[in-house]
């Protein structure tokens, strides 16, 4: 076991491998959700706009843009428990209040369609400590999320990592453009 400086407690370690209760989107994905998203981002691919065109290409129906699926995931994450490591009720050292995104990876398994109702299944996969660029220990929390249809078919797998850093004064010039 790597030396974590006592930052990771036995209670935190016990959470590794645990899952959260599934979280269901409050409603199916509607055509208006897709239309508004496509209008905002300037998406013009007809598989997102035209059901008959999508069917001619072999899709079951009108396709939901992959990044809209991610946006729904974020909305549910915010609605439920604040998402990320907070949903496992991890207790970090008191001064570790600076939380940052340390990476996401998505694997798209099949298209999501207008009318699909999605459910999120999350699992905490790891907690570890590494020394950050500023020379302070950083607690990393890794998780996997599987997004499934109402029938249980997996459509997206996501791995995510958050970095938990101690709060403190910002070093002069950190995150600022130098002139």
In the CATH scheme, what is the code of domain 10-28+63-165? 3.10.129.10
Tell me the pTM: 0.77
Burial of 118 (0-12, 13-18, 19+ CB in 10 A): buried
CB 54 within 8 A of CB 62: yes
pLDDT band at 74 (very low <50, low <70, confident <90, very high): low
- What share of the chain has pLDDT > 70, as a percent? 84
- Strands of the chain, DSSP E: 23-24, 98-108, 118-131, 137-149, 154-165
Measured distance CA(39)–CA(41) in Å, rounded: 6
- Using pLDDT thresholds of 50, 70 and 90, give the confidence band for residue 1: very low
Determine the pLDDT at residue 57.
Answer: 97
Phi-psi region of 135 (alpha: psi -120 to 50; beta: other; left: phi over 0): left
Residue 85, pLDDT above cutoff 50: no
Mean pLDDT, to the nearest integer, of 74-99? 69
pLDDT band of 76, cuts 50, 70, 90 = low
Look at residue 78 and tell me whether its pLDDT is greater than 60. no
**Strand ranges in 109-176 using DSSP code E only, listed in sequence order:** 118-131, 137-149, 154-165
pLDDT at res. 72: 75
Structure tokens at 179: 């002139």
Instruction: Report whether pLDDT(133) > 90.
Output: no
């Amino acid at each position: 076991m790597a030396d974590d400086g006592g930052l990771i407690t036995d209670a935190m370690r016990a959470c590794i491998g645990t899952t959260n209760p599934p979280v269901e989107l409050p409603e199916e994905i509607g055509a208006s959700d897709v239309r508004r998203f496509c209008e905002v981002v300037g998406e013009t691919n007809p598989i997102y706009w035209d059901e008959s065109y999508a069917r001619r290409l072999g899709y079951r129906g009108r396709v939901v843009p992959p990044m809209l699926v991610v946006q729904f995931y974020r909305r549910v994450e915010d609605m439920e428990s604040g998402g990320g490591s907070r949903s496992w009720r991890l207790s970090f050292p008191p001064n570790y209040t600076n939380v940052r995104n340390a990476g996401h990876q998505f694997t798209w398994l099949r298209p999501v369609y207008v009318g699909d109702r999605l459910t999120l299944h999350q699992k905490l996969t790891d907690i570890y400590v590494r020394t950050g660029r500023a020379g302070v220990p950083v607690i990393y929390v890794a998780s996997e999320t599987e997004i499934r249809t109402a029938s249980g078919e997996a459509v997206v797998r996501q791995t995510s990592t958050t970095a938990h850093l101690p709060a403190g004064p910002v070093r002069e010039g950190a995150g600022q453009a130098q002139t």
